[in-house]
Structure 1
Amino acid sequence: MNLIARTPKQAIEQFEPALHEAGLSEDINIEVSTKSPGTLEEQYRQWLNAGRSSPDILTMDVGWSIPFIRRGQLLNLSDALPAEHVQTLENEYNAESIDSSRGRNGNIFGVPLIMDVRGMWYRRDLAREAGYDPDAENWGTEPKSWEEFSQIAADIQEQQGLQYGLTMPFELSQTITCCTFNSIMSQWGGAYFGGREHLFGPVGDRPITIDEEQVLSALRMLRTFMWGHEDQHSLDNDSFVGGIVPSDVLGWRYTKDLDAFLNGNSFAYTVGNPAFAKLASSGDNFGDAVNEKLGLMPKPYGIQQSDSTYEGVGGTMSPLAGYNLSVNPNSNKQDAALEVLQTVMKDDFLVKWFNLSGYLPAKPKLLQSEAVKNHSLFGQYMDTFSVMADNAMPRPVTPIYFQESKVISQEVHNVVSQSKAPKKGMADAKEQLAQIEDSYGQ
């Protein structure tokens, strides 16, 4: 049986043994193929459009599963899996991860393998040296406001002589739409299309709210952090400290922003997931001192969720990323594929897979299990990841998501780079999004 995966090589080599250890039939053998994430979606479209029977199991990004479901190209697991397994998916898994593979009628088309939610890494050692006590002050579980965080970051930046207070990926790319700005906008109570209820459509019949004041506040905060209060479109509130984020991040994407943090040039880094903790613990970085140096906090908030216009928006918010396993409806080995998915759902496999790969299981209860919290590297961060898993925000995925993402990322980048004023940039974005929605919705 063939399966496509995007996973570290060492973990891939242990994937099949871990499944057999968890009870997969010994006569089921798995051939795991790897593809670049940048080409995977296009390759799947070609194969499924051609009716290919292989691969049998598809590793689907939470950001583009729904278009395949709309085209009828994935097996309906609500019908194919035993009822008790469907109930487990509905009742025990992270709801946002499940919804990323849900059809219009509520059926499920994917089993979450990897849940990627993110806090904010920070230098715990530098905070202590600057007079803060992250443990006593519950930095790991009690979200800070962006206002307070900016003051802390600026203070430590100055005391420790750091180049930056905070780094983040903000290169002109889909990363802005799905992740960096999606979370910051949500933390301010803003939404692209009127809140959670419209995330996945209906296209052409949902409000476009990217120009609302909450979104503009998030953009003004970013302008403040990058350009300071001299910027005419910065926040009109001096308690948000400017100059903590380098404008260079406008060209950074998961490389230089991370390097600046690992090299000791920044106090904090926005992309806090276990993969980066593993990198930070390497001999080239923090090594054996990683537990002392590396702290994780929930992402800050712009407004409290109770003050938000939209339900479930505001407060600490993480962008949702990750991968779900779906079955090729043309597969000649569907029974074996479904047995693999049922085995993947077992707690003992998910814990084993977490230990092998560092990827978070999409079952919230497992994040607080003894087997996970005792992990020598990741265990200390599980309370924070639990907070973020409870506050995950998916991207607005529909069949026209990639078209709309280009518009959103371009106009947001225009505003943050000072090429356009916030109101102008978001008005232009709304106009373009309305054209796309109207065109597709007709």
Structure 2
Amino acid sequence: MKSTRRNVALTLVGALTISALAACSSSSDGETTTDAAETPAADEPVTIQVAMDEGLEQGAIDAFDERIAQFQEANPNITVEKQEYNWVGTTFTADLAGGTLPDVFTVPFTDGRGLIERQQIADISAQVAELPYADDFSENVAVAGEDADGNMWLIPIAAYGQGIHYNRALFTEAGLDPDAPPTTWDEVQEAAKTISDKTGQAGYVEMTSANTGGWILTTLVYALGGRAETQEGETTTATINTPEYKKALEMLASMRWDDDSMGSNFSHDWGTSHADFAAGKIGMFISGGGDYGNLVTQNAMPEEDYGVTVLPLEGDDGAVLGGGTLAAVNAKATPEEQAAAVKWIDFYYMEKLTDKDAAIADAQVTADQDQPVGAPVLPVFDKATYDESQEWIADLINVPLEQFAPYSDNIYDQPLAAEPPVATQDLYAALDPVVQAVLTDENADIDKLLSDAETNVQGIIDAS
């Protein structure tokens, strides 16, 4: 569930209401945090572990290693060790408590507030404030990593708006035009049935597990004009038992039981859905619009098969669910490790967005390893800054930009709305079994499922 920056149209994250945290206090797991204002010796040798996506193909690993080598050459006192890591909602808390996370790791926007409140990450705000672009973040995006006083503990590195990914090869095999993907939900359902009937593959797949079932169901609800929560003052109310949630589930039930267009696997999570889509087993599925890199580098999807388009929006309040990715530093890191970690985040994630030479260097290394360069994403700063960064690397872009056009030509005209602001991941987890029930039980009582889920979610909200 992954990221963007300064486009003023992106109202991705609501204001945080947490209190400021005291320096050098104990965290909820017994770890001691260190005052971020301490200045470690600049030349003291230090080693840090940094997150690298799991399951990368060798070319992507080689590109990552080359970036590490470049960083170490520029910072000879810092040794960087890579550690495979993917954020998974159902295991992250245990990984955090168990101390198995690297010094630099990533989390979705939805985790930022809780990690700060519980002091489970390092307070790197003093170091972040010294970065040349510290004041250039979109206010709506920056707040995801800030405490109540506006101090940035986590750095927003990416943003996303949900989209429909579709397999162009399956579209062609089914007699559909891959350059004219569906623009309404009725057309999505019709295309899914056609793909299933003509190719024998799943026309459309819905994620259902590891919090992704609730995430994608809520994405459908946003697109239909609904929301999962409403806020009035300091009161948050669950809005699950609504016409929009019912309509979304009825659409899924129709595709599953009437059209038989959703295949036979109803336990997909983020990883398995991407793997099966890349393997040509899925015609369409919903996920963040910037997932191309994962599909190509981790799942070996042929680039000619890839397509992505925007979600159809209905009603006066139809919107695209948006979120993002934050880079965090482990609370167990020493002051020296924290400083080195911020340098790595700046070098690896941020410089390519803000500095021409860094952008070209990153793109060159990536292109030299035959990895994708220039796949369109939502900007982290404003669109003008993003467009400029794309111009810097224009000669190195190696992705089929025309295949992204249904998404990239339209996403900026769509309203984006933040994920549910309170107990987000717990809300998604509570909705996983609702989606699973509808897809595995033809007689599932949608009204009762939603009524029970709303009660459950309201209890979660009230306890948070």
- In structure 1, the residue matched to 2:334 is 331
| CA–CA separation in structure 2 for the residues paired with 1:131 and 1:330 | 55
1:152 aligns with 2:166: no
Q: How does 1:118-129 map to 2 (within 5 A)?
A: 118-128=162-172
Check conservation: 2:160, 2:324, Cα contact below 8 A: yes
1:250 aligns with 2:262: no
Partner secondary structure for residue 164 of structure 1: coil
1:87 aligns with 2:135: yes
Stretch moving more, 426-435 or 326-335: 326-335
* Counterpart residue identity of residue 31, structure 1: E
Q: How does 1:9-408 map to 2 (within 5 A)?
A: 9-19=61-71, 24-35=74-85, 37-38=87-88, 39-47=91-99, 56-76=103-123, 78-80=125-127, 81-82=129-130, 84-90=132-138, 95-96=140-141, 98-115=142-159, 117-128=161-172, 132-135=176-179, 137=180, 139=181, 144-158=183-197, 160-170=198-208, 172-178=209-215, 180-194=216-230, 205-228=235-258, 242-246=259-263, 248-254=264-270, 257-258=273-274, 261-262=277-278, 264-271=280-287, 273-278=291-296, 282=300, 286=302, 290-291=303-304, 293-301=305-313, 303-304=314-315, 307-308=316-317, 314-315=318-319, 317=320, 320=323, 322-326=325-329, 328=331, 331-333=334-336, 334-343=338-347, 344-346=349-351, 347=353, 348=356, 349=358, 356=366, 362-363=380-381, 364=383, 365-366=385-386, 369-370=390-391, 371=393, 375-377=397-399, 379-383=401-405, 384=407, 387=410, 395-396=419-420, 398=422, 400-408=423-431
Check conservation: 1:103, 1:109, Cα contact below 8 A: yes
Stretch moving more, 8-17 or 259-268: 259-268
Check conservation: 2:49, 2:103, Cα contact below 8 A: yes
Change (3 A) 1:407 1:133: closer
Partner secondary structure for residue 307 of structure 2: strand
| CA–CA separation in structure 2 for the residues paired with 1:222 and 1:68 | 34
Change (3 A) 1:29 1:378: farther
Partner secondary structure for residue 138 of structure 2: helix
| 1:210 Cα deviation from its structure 2 partner | 0.9
TM, length-normalised to structure 2? 0.68
| CA–CA separation in structure 1 for the residues paired with 2:169 and 2:331 | 49
| CA–CA separation in structure 2 for the residues paired with 1:187 and 1:415 | 20
Check conservation: 2:249, 2:446, Cα contact below 8 A: yes
| CA–CA separation in structure 1 for the residues paired with 2:437 and 2:67 | 43
Check conservation: 1:187, 1:300, Cα contact below 8 A: yes
Change (3 A) 1:32 1:414: same
Change (3 A) 1:149 1:76: same
- In structure 1, the residue matched to 2:434 is 411
Change (3 A) 1:244 1:155: same
- Give the total of aligned pairs: 385
| 1:216 Cα deviation from its structure 2 partner | 1.4
Check conservation: 2:267, 2:436, Cα contact below 8 A: no
Summarize deviations over 1:339-388 as a string: whole Å, max 9, x none.
33443422254665577475967455437713269532364455425755
| 1:166 Cα deviation from its structure 2 partner | 1.6
| CA–CA separation in structure 2 for the residues paired with 1:298 and 1:87 | 31
Change (3 A) 1:165 1:339: closer
* Counterpart residue identity of residue 206, structure 1: T
Check conservation: 1:57, 1:326, Cα contact below 8 A: yes
Partner secondary structure for residue 87 of structure 1: coil
- In structure 1, the residue matched to 2:451 is 427
| 1:193 Cα deviation from its structure 2 partner | 0.9
Check conservation: 2:167, 2:306, Cα contact below 8 A: yes
* Counterpart residue identity of residue 66, structure 2: Q
- In structure 2, the residue matched to 1:238 is none
| CA–CA separation in structure 2 for the residues paired with 1:281 and 1:47 | 29
| 1:274 Cα deviation from its structure 2 partner | 1.2
Partner secondary structure for residue 345 of structure 1: helix
Summarize deviations over 1:286-313 as a string: whole Å, max 9, x none.
4xxx42x332222333x14xx11xxxxx
| 1:427 Cα deviation from its structure 2 partner | 0.9
The share of aligned pairs that are identical, in percent, is 17
- In structure 2, the residue matched to 1:4 is 50
Change (3 A) 1:14 1:62: farther
| CA–CA separation in structure 1 for the residues paired with 2:174 and 2:86 | 42
Change (3 A) 1:33 1:377: same
Summarize deviations over 1:240-277 as a string: whole Å, max 9, x none.
xx43223x342233566556545545432334621454
Check conservation: 1:166, 1:245, Cα contact below 8 A: yes
| 1:99 Cα deviation from its structure 2 partner | 4.0
TM, length-normalised to structure 1? 0.71
Stretch moving more, 388-397 or 337-346: 388-397
CA RMSD of aligned residues (A): 3.9
